[in-house]
Structure formats: structure tokens, C-alpha cells
Chain A
């Protein structure tokens, strides 16, 4: 017993020691637990929250583009689409097979679907088909039992109610590329589009809006358990344009089948009311990606439907340039309005003969007669006396061959030649070059928009800049009133002389554009001033001329361009038009009547007038229609 007692006491001592060690160890664990839960607790709370909560952005609706009366020219419409949620069906291929029987899926669509399915978890919906029609949706609904995993969902897509009629102004949107996404991650959201051309591109930042955010509770594999919080995105700003969409459409209609461009401007403030280019394209096609075949068709078309001819088409201005020559000469005091030049039908200079369009000649011509008859010889001589540099300087002040304030990307300045420019090319300027410049031929290359600006400045004496933005999100943009624009500094006498000459072109007996005379019984006394232009696109030699060269017998692309510039009303100018009909031959015959019809329409609608145009009321119907 004694030994056991001794053993027992050793055991008791050591058992107590073991117990002590155990308590110490458990206390250490308790301390560790305290450290994790209390001392480091807040850090882990944040981590748990970021584990649990997944913030996802929701794409904001894109802002709209409106015309000057608030009619949407680029809006959002609902896009019904069929989505596939792979985990909701046991047989994905079978579902797709059945889907294919209702709405055939092309091979490349099947490949895309397979690819996306491999990339995403099984509960992420995959778009099977966009832009479902009512019929498509009906057939999907009826056959729903055969299509497990297919759901019909609605998103938004860009809509252009005026289609091709406004394509070059409004532009288009397209899916963003990787570079765009790198700059703004919001663009990675489904359905986001980026403005690629026109005003969609100019105001892309404003139109984009701010992404909303939705806080989702997710589990370890990323499945959404529930929505915790939602902040709706902010829709992009609505941008109001200076365009009158109805007017634009009627201008396009009037241009008909011609390859042509027309710009209608408010001469008092530079607002572009219509900017039409024919032929055009359907901007909606870019939304989902343009097919190779369509792209080739556009780019190979010699009428260049993708080019905005109003801002990027370069044309020799022809006789429409004569007012600039006259103003340069008058301002330089090289001539007076009373000085005359004798026109025998040609001007010989050195060994070259420069022909007048009238073979028989015009006889004694002063400025009034020179403009009215568009006498070439008169302007050859005036240009020769003034010199190219003084002509170019004045022309540039009128917006010819210089960058303009217009917002549209891809706008070209054109070319207003000078001696320095020619020298930079390593060539010498010849007096002959000055002489042909006097009638707007030679090196000169200008856009219809710059011609409209030129006429506007000439009509008001103010340096208005053409622009297309009227307001952003209700905030009016500067430049709406004439006083916002500085005076040109051209003497009234000079301006009056050329305006008067332009009036004579249209309204005086024997003027060169009698077809341009307005016929508006409702607006008695309203008259238009204008100037024709027929600009050769190739040199016609003296030999050809003498052998009965007739431009209208030439191939289409060799015929001269027909131009017409005008403003109205003559006594209180409000509207200017510049019109180019590509290869239309003669300005007086091909361009003037079209310009007159457009001007009559503008004056009747009076889009800048105090009374809203009556046709705005039924624009709802017009907005739905598409120009063929």
C-alpha cells in the first residue's frame, strides 16, 4: 500500500502538472481567438463583406439625340432577346437543336454560343439571339416546354428613327473594342455601345451616362443569392441638335437619286438646319456589326455613301467663288463697282487662252454684270489684278479653305491656294493659276459646308461658325444669337455690291439662274439671292473645245459638278444654302432648281421663326418612317 501511496502522489503531482499545461494551452488558444475576433476583427469584417458582396455595374441608358424641336433622331428602343441559362437544362445541345428548328442558328452562332458557355459558369445567361420580332417571341413562348433553359429578356438598343436621312450627322454606335474598354471599364458592360461617327462620337462622353451599381450577395462560387442594394445608373445627357429633322428629310427627298450634298444654315448664328448627303447608309447596321459584304458594297460604291460629302467632299467651287474674288478686289481697291472689263469670249494671257463660258462674249462688264452673267473673263481680269494672295486672304476670312467650328469628326478644311502654298510644293506660282482661281477652278478644293458658311458670312457680315449642337442636357450652348459673332470687318459697300449681284443672278432679266427664282404666293416680296457654279473636274484643252467638246456627252464621273449657293430673304437674310450635285453638269440647270425648292421649303417651314412649324405636330408618324 505504501508504494502505491508514493506512486499515487507522484501521479497526482504530475497529473496536476498535465492539467496546468492543458489550461495554459487552452488559455493561449483563447488569447489567439481574442486576437482574431477582437484585435483584428475589423479587418476580417471588411474581408468577409468583400467576400460576400459583389458589386456589379449596370449599364446606363444612352442619352438621346434630339432635333431642334425635340424630335428624337437617335433613341433607345427595347431589344427582345433569347437567352440560354445552361444550368436550367440537362441537355443544352438538345435545347439549341429545338431552338434551331424554330429560329435557325447559323454555324458561327453555334460556335459563339459554345465558346461563351465554356468561358462562363453555368448560371450565367448567354445571348442566343438578339432583336426578336413579335413572331419570333410568340413561337418561342408556344414551344417553351421544348426549350428548357431558354428565357426571353429585354435590353435596349440604339434606334435611328430617320435612318439614312440623318446618318452622316447623327453618326452611329458600335460595340466598343478593347482599347475603348481599357479607357473606360464601364464600356465592358453588356449592351454598351460607343459612338463611332457623327454626333454620337462627338458627344459620346455626355451620351454615355453614369453606370449604376447593384450590390449582390454572392456565395463562394459567385452565384447570386440576393440583391442587397441597387443604385440606378444615370442616363446619358440628351443632346439637342440644331438640325430640323423634318426639313432634313425633305431635303434628302428633294435630292432624289443624285449623288449630292446640301447644307442649310441659319445665316445669323451658324446653326446648321439641314446637312444632307446622298446616297447614305443605314446607321443601325453598325449597332450589331457590319457584314463584310455590306462593307465592301459601301466602300466600292463610287458615290461613296459612307462619306459625309457636306463636310468631307472636296469640290472646286467654280463660279460660286466669284463673290470672294469680287470682295477681295473691292476691299483691296483694285477695282470699283463701276470699273468695266471687255469680254470678247476669251482672255489671252501669254501663250494661253482662257475661255469664257459664253463663246460669243459678254461685251463691257462691270461688277454687277460680271456676277449676273457669271462672266468668266471679267473675273479672270479682276483676279489677275488682285493677285492670288489677297484673294486667298479674303476667302479664308469667309471660311473657305480653313478649319471651321463644326463639331463633326472627319471634317476637311479644303484647300485655298496661295503663292506660299505652291512654293512649299517646290513649284512656282503662275499668273495663269491666279486667272483660273478667279473662277474657282485650279487648285481650289472646298466643302459644301464651307460654301454655306461663306454665303452666311457674306449675307450678314458676321463671322458665324457652323455648328450642330444647340443644347446639352437642357443647357443652351453659346452662339445662338447673332451678337455672339464678331463682325467680319468687310465694308458694307463691298458686301452690298456682291449681294446685289447675287440678287441679279436670280431675279434680274437675263440673270444666269432664272430657275432659282422663288415662287411663294404666301410670302410675297421674299426674294432669293444666289450664284451658280459649274466646276470642271478635268482640264478641257483648247483643241477639244474647238472640236465640239460637250461635257454632257462625257462619262458620269467626267462631267462637271453642278453647284448653287444662295441666301434668302434678300432684304433680311435668314437662311443660306450650299448645294453640290456631283457631276450634274451645269449649276444653273442641275443645282439651281433643287436649291430653290429647298429654300421654298425652308421659308415655308421657317424652322427658326417665332411660330413652330406646323408639320412638327405630325412628326410622330414621320419619326417612325424611314427613308428608302
Chain B
């Protein structure tokens, strides 16, 4: 059967039912497994009870799953058309949060929208992925060598990054920049430009450090010497490492984590959920969870490679990198590999809007997968 024939069959079955069949249910199963791990961990965090965390968590995941499937049904071309509108909305929200944001933990990050606390920066990352993917969708490899062509998308990355830095939220700003950079790279950025840019960023680090807030500097200092301040800023890192280390290879057993149950571990239901899980299920449990996360990350890349249009490819890759960055920063933080950054573990940590944002991203990823063979009018124009 030729590729054309297969395509024709798929095009023919593009009813709603057909689209539902196109969803990668294996991938959905992986997401459910991850949320299941979250349920187990949060059940333990609640002191061996579904209240107050686990039951809410699974309810939100169910809602997120429905939202994801709904978004997956939306034609990727419609999403592409809306991308710049979404981007503009995201930037507006970022400005809004700076103006009237609600202070939490010393930084303005939260916006009260419809009775829920939102972090616009999370939504912004998805919008950014869509917007620059849309820009590069049309780009030929020759255009990728033209610096003038690259200026608008570079600005599109810089504006939210600066706004997020002003919140100030260093962690998310870095993640946003990396996600943007990954799309540039995948779109075919010249290697020399990449290396120049990398050099410039490295050169800017000392300058950036001088603009950091005291609490951010304290994080870096305590990261380098956590024992220097065991009851202050280094407390979280030390207690997290104690929890992981005392869990050992096989863990202390479900609901037996002393560090988390005796409250030595701070924010165990959010940022330190990986620590709680690993304390009770050990290195084995930790590696299992990381494997699950890796499958979801790499699965996103596979979808990107299998997609037949550049927009879909770049979106899927951007979302996969975004998800990867969450995981990387969170686990690196709890194992003491990088300074504490206040980044949750997607689908495992307790938190409503974070879960919703992740599931919106997953919905778009799935839409890319469902519509991987969709024809873009621009494509035809370009080809013609």
C-alpha cells in the first residue's frame, strides 16, 4: 500500500470517530500511569488518606483528560491560525500579572482568574511554542540563514522571557528561553549562529547574576554549600537529600516515609513530591518514575518526527522540550543538583492550574499527532 493510498484512507475517515481513533491511546495510558503515581504519592502526602490532595488530584486529571481530548479534536490548522492571537493574549496576561499580580513566596507570579490562581508564564510557554512554530512553518532552510528573518521570532522569545524575569521567576524564564531556543535549533538554525548565541549567553551570566534578587542569589549560594545554612535556605535541599538517601534502593515502604510524614520535608505535596515517592519506594521507585517521564518526553519527539508538516513538528518538539525542562529542573532540584527553583513535577505534583496547563499542552501535542498528515495552504503556496 503506497503512502498516498494510506493518506487517502485516513483523509476519508476524518470524522470525529476517526479522529478519536487517531489519538495515541498508548500515550494517554502513559499519562494516566503518571497521574496514578501522583495519586499514590499524594495519598501518602495526605498522611495515608485521599484527602486533602489525592482525590482532588485525580479529579483534576480526569477533567484535564477530557480537555486534552477536546483540544486534540481541534484541527491543527485552526490552532496554527490562532497562534499569534494566543501569543498576544499571553503577553497581555504577563503584563497584567506584573501590574496586579498576587504575591506568593516573594514573587509576583499568580493571577486570580475565574476564582483560580493562574501562573500566566506557564500558559505563555505554550503560546510561544505555537507562535514561533507558526513563524518557522513557512521558513525555508535558506531563510534560516538570514539574520533579518530571525529577528521577529527572537523578539517573540525575548519579550516573554524578560517579562517573566521581571516577575521575578528565574526558573521559568530559563525554561522559556530554552524551549524557544530548541525550536530555533530544530527549525534549522545555522550551527555558527547557535554557537555565537551560546557564547553570548554564557558571557551574560555574570551580568545576570548582578541583577538577581537576594533570595535567588541565596539559592545559588546554598546550592553550592547547602550545609552552610542548614536551618535556613539550605534546609530544603538537605532534608530532601536525607529523605532520598534514607530511602535507599528499595525505599521505606508505602506510607512509611519518616522525613515526609514527620514534616521534615517542606512542600512535600508540590515541589518535593518526587522526594516523597522516592523515600517510600527507593531508587527503584525513582527510576520507574523517571522512566515513565522519559517515555512521555521521547514519545512527544517521536510524534514530532512522524508529523508531516513543519508547524506540527516544531510544536510537538517545543512541547516535549517544555515537559522535559519541568522534569529536569524539578528532579535536579530535589536531588540537590541545581538550586531550588519552585518548579513542580508535571502530573504528579499537587496543583490545579499547573495540571490544567500541562493537559492543554498535551491536548495540542495530541492534535499534532491526530492531524499529522494535514495539508497547510501555505505549504501548497510554498511548494507552488
Q: Interface residues, chain A, CB within 8 Å of chain B?
A: 1, 3-4, 6-8, 10-12, 14-16, 18-19, 22-23, 25-26, 28-30, 32-34, 36-38, 40-41, 43-45, 47-49, 51-52, 217-221, 225
Contacts and interface: CB of A to CB of B under 8 A. Distances in A.
Interface in B269-306: 278, 282-283, 286-287, 290, 293-294, 297-298, 301, 304-305
Given A10-B141, A18-B301, A36 B244 contact: yes
Contact of A11 (B186, B247, B283, B290): B186
B310 A11 contact: yes
A3 B245 contact: no
Nearest to A219: B262
A45 B241 CA distance: 10
A387 B304 CA distance: 123
Interface string B319-338: 00100100110011001110
Interface string B132-155: 000000001100000000000000
A36 B335 contact: yes
Contacts of A4: 310, 379, 382-383
A25 B335 CA distance: 13
Given A29-B328, A36-B241, A36-B244, A3 B382 contact: yes
A48 B383 contact: no
A219 B263 contact: yes
25 contacts: A4-B379, A8-B308, A11-B314, A15-B301, A15-B313, A18-B182, A18-B301, A19-B298, A26-B297, A28-B337, A29-B332, A33-B278, A33-B286, A33-B287, A34-B283, A37-B244, A37-B248, A37-B283, A40-B241, A44-B246, A45-B245, A45-B246, A47-B242, A48-B258, A220-B262
Contacts of B261: 219
Contact of B263 (A23, A37, A221): A221
A26 B141 contact: no
Nearest to A28: B337
B187 interface: yes
B188 A11 contact: yes
**Residue among B246, B247, B321, B383 with max Cβ neighbours from chain A (10 Å):** B246
A22 B297 contact: yes
Given A23-B294, A44-B245, A219-B264, 13 more contacts: A1-B383, A10-B141, A14-B186, A18-B182, A33-B287, A41-B245, A41-B246, A44-B244, A45-B245, A51-B258, A51-B264, A220-B263, A220-B264
B95 interface: no
A31 to B, nearest CB: 10
A22 B298 contact: yes
Task: Give the 9 A-B residue pairs with the shortest CB-CB distance, closest first.
Answer: A44-B245, A48-B246, A219-B262, A220-B263, A37-B283, A45-B246, A52-B258, A47-B242, A220-B264
Contacts of B242: 44, 47-48, 51
A4 B140 CA distance: 8
A36 B336 contact: yes
Contacts of A43: 245
A3 B283 contact: no
B218 interface: no
A4 to B, nearest CB: 7
Interface residues of B, number: 53
B127 interface: no
A18 B317 CA distance: 9
B248 A38 contact: yes
Contacts of B298: 19, 22-23
Nearest to B235: A220
B282 A15 contact: no
A37 B290 contact: no
Given A3-B140, A3-B383, A29 B310 contact: no
A3 B187 CA distance: 13
Contacts of A51: 239, 242, 258-259, 262, 264
Given A1-B383, A7-B310, A15-B313, A26 B328 contact: yes
A47 B321 CA distance: 36
Nearest to A35: B335
Interface in B180-202: 182, 185-188
A1, A16, A23, A25 — most chain B CB neighbours (10 Å): A25
B93 interface: no
B32 interface: no
B272 to A, nearest CB: 13
Contacts of B304: 11, 15
B187 A11 contact: yes
A235 to B, nearest CB: 33
B243 interface: yes
B67 interface: no
B347 to A, nearest CB: 16
A278 to B, nearest CB: 60
Residue from B186, B245, B247, B382 having most chain A Cβ neighbours under 10 A: B245
Contacts of A1: 383
A217 B262 contact: yes
A10 B246 contact: no
B374 interface: no
Contacts of A45: 245-246, 248
B249 interface: yes
Interface in B83-103: none
A573 to B, nearest CB: 72
A36 B335 CA distance: 7
A102 to B, nearest CB: 38
Contacts of B290: 26, 29-30, 33
A37 B335 CA distance: 10
Which residue among A3, A28, A47 has the maximum number of chain B CB atoms within 10 Å of its CB? A47
Contacts of B286: 33, 37
Interface in B328-384: 328, 331-332, 335-337, 379, 382-383
Nearest to B239: A51
Nearest to A225: B262
A391 B307 CA distance: 123
A37 B282 contact: yes
A143 to B, nearest CB: 36
Contacts of A19: 298, 301
Given A3-B383, A37-B282, A218 B248 contact: no
Given A37-B249, A44-B244, A14 B185 contact: yes
Nearest to B287: A30
Interface in B223-250: 239, 241-249
Contacts of A30: 287, 290
Contacts of B327: 26
Identify which of A6, A28, A48 gathers the most chain B CB atoms within 10 Å of its CB: A48
Contacts of B264: 48, 51-52, 219-220
A157 to B, nearest CB: 35
B135 to A, nearest CB: 14
B83 to A, nearest CB: 18
A594 B182 CA distance: 110
Nearest to B250: A37
Contacts of A6: 141
A221 to B, nearest CB: 7
Contacts of A38: 248-249, 283
B24 to A, nearest CB: 17
A47 B246 contact: yes
Given A4-B310, A14-B188, A32 B282 contact: no
B239 to A, nearest CB: 8
A296 B308 CA distance: 103
B259 A48 contact: yes
A363 to B, nearest CB: 94
Contact of B294 (A7, A18, A26): A26
A56 to B, nearest CB: 16
A49 B243 CA distance: 10
Given A4-B379, A8-B313, A220-B263, A37 B258 contact: no
B244 A10 contact: no
B21 to A, nearest CB: 25
Contacts of B188: 7, 10-11, 14
Given A22-B297, A37-B278, A225-B262, A48 B328 contact: no
